[in-house]
Amino acid sequence: MSAITLTVASFLLFTAGGVIWLNPRRFSNQVFSLVSILLAIWLGCVYNAMLVGAAGGRTPELVYWLRASGLVAAFLPGSIWLQMEATIAGDSQKRRTINKGMPWALLAFFLCAMALHDSFAKDDGEGRIARGFAYAVYTSVALSAFSICFYQAIRKVTQLKGIRRTELQFIGFSIGAAALLLGLFNAFGNLLEIRALNRASILILFVAYLVVAGALIFRRIFDARQIFTFLTQRTILAAMLCSGIIYVPALFNDIVPNATAAVLSILISSGIVLWLYGASTKWLGIDGESILLNARREVIELGLKDASTEKRRIDCEGLLNSHFATNKAVLYYEDDQERKKLFELKSSPKTYQVLCSASWATPESLQRQRSSPASVEIRNFLIKHSLAVVVTVPRGSLTPSLIVALGGKANDAPFTYPEVVRLQNIAELMDNTLTRSQLTTQAALQAKMEHLAMMSRGLAHDLKNLITPISSYLVHTAPLHATGSLESEVYASAERSVGVMNDYVREALFFSERMELKYESVSLRRIFDEVTAITAIRGRHAGVQVTTDIGTVESLRVDGVLILRMLANLVANAIDASLHGKTVHINAAPRGLGWVRLQVIDQGHGIPPEHLERMFDPYFTTKEFGETVRGFGLGLTITQKIVNLHSGKISVQSKIGEGSTLTIDLPVAPPGSMA
């Protein structure tokens, strides 16, 4: 037993250093290290007393070590109280908490006086240790002090919320109960001279210490009620099983042989215990598998509904709100430019990588880790946005396809590790559901575009054949009409109409073509300059200035002709949407490794929300046909086609009265090639 005592003492000292290393500024960590050191010193005294007793040493020497252990233990009630207060008050009230502990310091000095008194422990002259009045007072006062700590913990737990409530539950019930058992075991062991009770107290102390250490410094947080419920359930079921195996055979001994009775008792007891295990697990609310199974079933049902990706995302957020009883849930996924912009951590690559490597984070788990710039930034982000947990999917990936962030719970309790794991499992299924939805939507859009392209191709060819003789007639009859005559006005109107039809035929044929890209290295500055030149007249007529900024992006490998057409189309649309005297801005910037982001920003009226979802639909337009403004609804569809051909992504953000931003992400080189 002495070897175990020394091992435990060494472990306590090692833990004290580790706790300070993790977070030296946290008040509760400082106090926990103090408690660890006191317990280690106390165990050191107990270890020396064991050595003296085992070696048959002199009684005065044994008395010395017993007094020494009493002196050290005198400070334990106050240090336990200080640990609870440090957990409750936090770092901001450190000085005030220490000042409130003065009565406990006086109590410790009183106990020290009792431990030094002759009647605490002395040689009775017959080689045994006699304990008198001082020992009785010491034991009674110490037990009362531990009882007060235990009572205060129970009383204050009901007044706290969040992580402080969870930590105090572990501290109060573990240290308080263990301290009471420790005092009782030692008291009865000394009174009845049953040294096994004294030695068993070491194991009780160690188990309680491990529980508290895990509650205060372990990154993974657990719910104290669930832990104690879990342990109580297993203990009761194990006791029932053992009792059944021992006592049930007596019921069958008069009917069947003893061996058969033993087998029957095992089968009956095991069956009853297994049934009780399943029923009590659900009744006590600790059946995590069933909870996860129900949540996964709901996600699958959402995936089977005929809905858009955005609708499914909203449904998934509602499901998370309901399942985890939170005040908000947000899904940031890769294809949602607006939501990615809101996720500020992506602007700090190193911090973002730390989060992705860990796969999850809560403010409480970050507080228990050793402080670093990344952990501080993540924690500040969570606190700023009132988020209680963030998980990334896939786990451990530095380029997650989905990030799930949940707000605080209705009861202000922190997210425990089992809940984080459950959230990760649900988020992975949601990621698969949303990805499937996106692929289905993309396939449907592709089929729709193929169908429309086929219709457009046939219609455009027919119109082209019909327009040709009309155009020829207009060319030959132009000199026949006097300027200013009614005939000349009709002629001019017919000529404009034919021009509009030619533009439509040209766009429809382009939309319906099956193109193969001709990749080349193009200068982005040259592309921007050409776009500015092409749209210059349109800009002057509208009173809109076009500005450009290529940033650090010099060139990229793309189909230069198509990219030029795409940007010219977007800038022309932006000019049409802008107010007189405003500016249309084109810019480029790197976006991660191997990607470039192009943006066309206008300061126009903005796009109504009901139109945003249809912006890229073929033949959808908000422009009116007329003398100067026309629209076929193919411009953005063609733009989307060019982006898709380059394996890029396009999105639009708009606010009424402020303008719109078209964002295009393109790979700097063809997929599968070296940049």
pLDDT surpassing 70 at residue 25: yes
Q: What is the pLDDT of residues 614-648, one digit of tens each?
A: 677 665 566 544 344 444 556 787 788 788 888 88
Q: CA dihedral defined by 301, 306, 307, 308, rounded to 10 degrees?
A: 120
* CA–CA distance, 388 with 327 (Å, rounded to integer): 10
Name the average pLDDT for the chain. Answer: 79
Q: Is the Cβ–Cβ distance between 201 and 186 less than 8 Å? A: yes
pLDDT, residue 627, reads 40
Tell me the average pLDDT across 294-316: 79
pLDDT higher than 80, residue 456: no
Q: What is the mean pLDDT of residues 444-467?
A: 64
**What is the DSSP secondary-structure string of 504-557?**
HHHHHHHHH-------EEEEHHHHHHHHHHHTHHHHHHHT-EEEEE-TT--EEE
- Cα separation, 578 vs 571, in Å, equals 10
Per cent of the chain over pLDDT 70 is 80
Q: Rounded to the nearest 5°, which phi and psi values hold at 335? A: -85, 0
What is residue 230's predicted lDDT score, i.e. its pLDDT?
79
Cis peptide bond N-terminal to 394, omega within 30 = yes
Q: Give the model's pLDDT for residue 640.
A: 82
pLDDT class of 564 with cuts at 50, 70, 90: confident
Give the pLDDT mean for 192-201.
68
What's the CATH number for 515-675? 3.30.565.10
pLDDT at 251: 77
- The answer to whether residues 498 and 469 touch, using CB atoms and an 8 Å cutoff, is no
Q: Alpha carbon 408 to chain centroid distance?
A: 12
pLDDT at 628: 42
Distances (CA, A) of 192 to 50, 184, 564, 625: 18, 12, 96, 105
111-132 mean pLDDT:
79
**Lowest-pLDDT choice from 84-88, 249-253, 433-437, 502-506:** 502-506
SS3 (DSSP) at 232: helix
Nearest to 511 by CA among 365, 419, 604, 636: 636
Q: Which of 675, 529, 673, 674 is nearest to 590 (CA)?
A: 675
- Give the pLDDT mean for 306-322: 80
Using CA atoms, how far apart are residues 452 and 447, in angstroms rounded to an integer? 9
Neighbours of 78 (CB within 10 A): 22
Quick check: 568 pLDDT over 90? no
In tens, the pLDDT along 3-15 reads: 777 888 888 888 8
CA distance 668 to 671: 9
Point out the least confidently predicted range of 109-123, 411-425, 432-446, 536-550: 432-446
Task: Find the mean pLDDT for residues 371-398.
Answer: 86
Output the DSSP codes for 330-363. EEEETT-HHHHHH-GGGGSHHHHHHHHHH-EE-H
* Per-residue pLDDT at 585: 93
Q: State mean pLDDT over 137-155.
A: 83
Q: Give the pLDDT score at 595.
A: 86
List C-alpha distances in Å: 348 to 343, 351, 353. 10, 5, 9
Is residue 674 scored above 50 in pLDDT?
A: no
CATH of 2-218, one of 1.10.3720, 1.10.3470, 1.20.1070, 1.10.10: 1.20.1070
Looking at CATH, the fold of the domain delimited by 290-440 is given as: Beta-Lactamase (3.30.450)
Spell out the SS3 assignment of 584-620: EEEEEEECCCCEEEEEEECCECCCCHHHHCCCCCCCC
What is residue 338's predicted lDDT score, i.e. its pLDDT?
45
Q: In angstroms, rounded to a whole number, what is the distance separating the alpha carbons of residues 592 and 298?
A: 35
Minimum mean pLDDT range among 42-51, 251-260, 534-543:
251-260
192, burial (CB in 10 Å: exposed 0-12, middle 13-18, buried 19+): exposed
Question: What pLDDT score does 625 carry?
Answer: 40
CA 342 to each of CA 91, 331, 589: distance values in angstroms, whole numbers, following the listed order: 31, 11, 18
Ranked by mean pLDDT, the top range of 207-221, 227-241, 521-535, 641-655 is 521-535
Tokens of 333: 């996924």
Confidence tier at 522 by pLDDT (50, 70, 90): confident
Question: Does 208 score more than 80 pLDDT?
Answer: no
